[in-house]
Amino acid sequence: MGTAVGKILAVTNQKGGVGKTTTCVNLAASLVATRKKVLLIDIDPQGNATMGSGIDKNAVSSSVYDVLVHRVPVAAVAQKAPSAGYDILPANGDLTAAEVELLNGSEKEFRLRDALAIERVEYDYIIIDCPPSLNMLTVNALAAADGVLIPMQCEYYALEGLTALLDTIQRVQQVLNPNLQIEGLLRTMYDPRNSLTNDVSAQLAAHFGDRVYRTVIPRNVRLAEAPSFGMSALSYDKQSKGALAYLALAGEMLRRSDAVNALPTA
């Protein structure tokens, strides 16, 4: 038995406002609550996951920019999220420059993958919060990841955006990362009273079957408030519907992972 390596998940959707950063922060906190060691990587220049983890993006001395552009080791840049217990690689506006600088670099799509090669044994899960666009940062995340977690709202244009994302994932599989899988689709801001929500849910189930998580994330005031306090919903109000939903998601992910690991190998 070799040393187990952590699973790397890219959380991405080219459409903004679907609960991507909320999912990263709260899933990371929920996995820590189940005694997993977690690294959250913020590769969105907006730095929302950094701020939502209680770290001032403008005050950090080094960030994921230094890892990608100057190849500074992850361990030298990672910080502990104050209230949630996971480690985070912070991001800020410097990352916008990384986008340009990487275009001329060697092995530009693999900077993140290479940086994580030695870190994988340190963590059970590495979660990457991607920018809401398909750029060199997102490509780095997809080239480094084992799985893609896609948060999405069940609304009219959601499926249209999903098609573009699936095309992107397929291209990355062909050219950069043949092992990349769709880990799962997560329905966010979920309102079961809305008939469109139910229609889109049914379409997702028809297309993706059991890759759609059973857990849904409801619209929840506490989930919306928590980031302004630099906290996960679990730290902010652990009884809130949002916190409980992400704990349920972590449980569902771990059960899936155990089921896969229990399969006999040929």
Q: Does domain 7-258 have CATH number 3.40.50.300?
A: yes
Strands (E) in the chain, as ranges, are 7-11, 38-42, 79-80, 87-89, 125-129, 147-153, 181-190, 212-218
Lowest mean pLDDT across 2-16, 120-134, 201-215, 240-254: 2-16
In this model, does residue 4 exceed pLDDT 80? Answer: no
Q: What is the mean pLDDT of residues 138-152?
A: 96
d(CA 175, CA 163): 19
In this model, does residue 84 exceed pLDDT 70? Answer: yes
Q: What is the mean pLDDT of residues 2-8?
A: 73
Instruction: Using alpha carbons, select from 264, 257, 263 the residue that is nearest to residue 6.
Output: 257
Q: How many residues does the chain have?
A: 266
Instruction: Using alpha carbons, select from 139, 175, 127, 177 the residue that is nearest to residue 10.
Output: 127
Q: What is the pLDDT of residues 155-173, one digit of tens each?
A: 877 777 788 889 999 999 9
In this model, does residue 1 exceed pLDDT 60? Answer: no
- When the pLDDT of each residue in the chain is averaged and rounded to a whole number, the result is 90
Going by their DSSP bridges, the two strands 147-153 and 181-190 should be labelled as parallel
Q: What is the pLDDT of residues 105-136, one digit of tens each?
A: 788 999 999 999 988 899 999 999 999 888 89
- Model confidence band, residue 264 (pLDDT cutoffs 50, 70, 90): low
Q: What is the mean pLDDT of residues 203-226?
A: 91
In this model, does residue 182 exceed pLDDT 60? Answer: yes
